[in-house]
Structure 1
Amino acid sequence: MRGITITYKYSGDETIWQSAMSDFISAIDNDPEIAGKFTYQVATADDKETRFHWGRWDSAETLKHVQSQEYFKTFAGRVKEFAGGVPSATGHDISHKTTGW
């Protein structure tokens, strides 16, 4: 399984940020093509400015599908705006994980 961790600082309007995150998560949840193949989580650090995003997917085809969707293009642009440029992004292979939440 592949993954990405994205980090940046954002201290702007929280309502706008929350709306963008909710819209993207909703689009993922409503895309039947990637059900069970792509997950995304977003968190705010205790400092209330540092933001973390974790994406996970099962194959290059799944990632290609997500990246080709308008909802992804819109979201990627918004994240760049929130980050004030290009956020830090680190790709990785998932080697171990728990079986549940």
Structure 2
Amino acid sequence: MRGITITYTFDGDEADWEATTSAFIAAIDADPDAAGKFTYQVAVADDGKSRFHWGRWDNAETLAHVQSQPYFKAFAAKVREYADGTPNAIGHDVKAKTVGW
């Protein structure tokens, strides 16, 4: 399983950020070719500004599918806007995890 961690600082309209991230996650869950194969989680740090996104997917085909969708392209553009440029991102291989993660 592959994953990505994305980080950036955001100090803007919280309602807009929450609506955007919720819409992206709902689009993944509604996409029969992504649901259960591509998972996404977002978090706000205790400082209220640092943002974390974690994505995981089962294979390259699933990632390519998600990246080709209009919902992904719109979300990626909004994340760049929230980050005031390109956010920090690092890919990784998931080696071990607890049940439910």
- Please indicate, yes or no, whether the TM-score normalized by the shorter chain is above 0.5: yes
When structure 1 is superposed on structure 2, of 81-90 and 30-39 the one drifting more is 30-39
Provide the C-alpha distance between the structure 2 equivalents of 1:34 and 1:87, rounded to a whole number of angstroms. Answer: 23
- Using the TM superposition, give the Cα deviation of residue 35 of structure 1 relative to its aligned residue in structure 2, in angstroms: 2.1
Paired residue for 2:80?
80
Q: Give the root-mean-square deviation of aligned CA atoms.
A: 0.7
Runs of at least 4 residues off by over 6 Å: none
Identity value in percent: 66
SS at match of 2:48: coil
TM-score by length of 1: 0.98
TM-score by length of 2: 0.98
| Letter matched to residue 77 of structure 1 | A
Paired residue for 1:9?
9
Q: Which runs of 5 or more structure 2 residues have no equivalent in the other structure?
A: none
Asked if structure 1 preserves the Cα contact closer than 8 Å seen for 2:29 and 2:36, the reply is no
Paired residue for 2:48?
48
Paired residue for 1:100?
100
Provide the C-alpha distance between the structure 1 equivalents of 2:40 and 2:21, rounded to a whole number of angstroms. Answer: 10
Equivalent pairs, count: 101
Asked if structure 1 preserves the Cα contact closer than 8 Å seen for 2:7 and 2:87, the reply is yes
Provide the C-alpha distance between the structure 2 equivalents of 1:8 and 1:91, rounded to a whole number of angstroms. Answer: 15
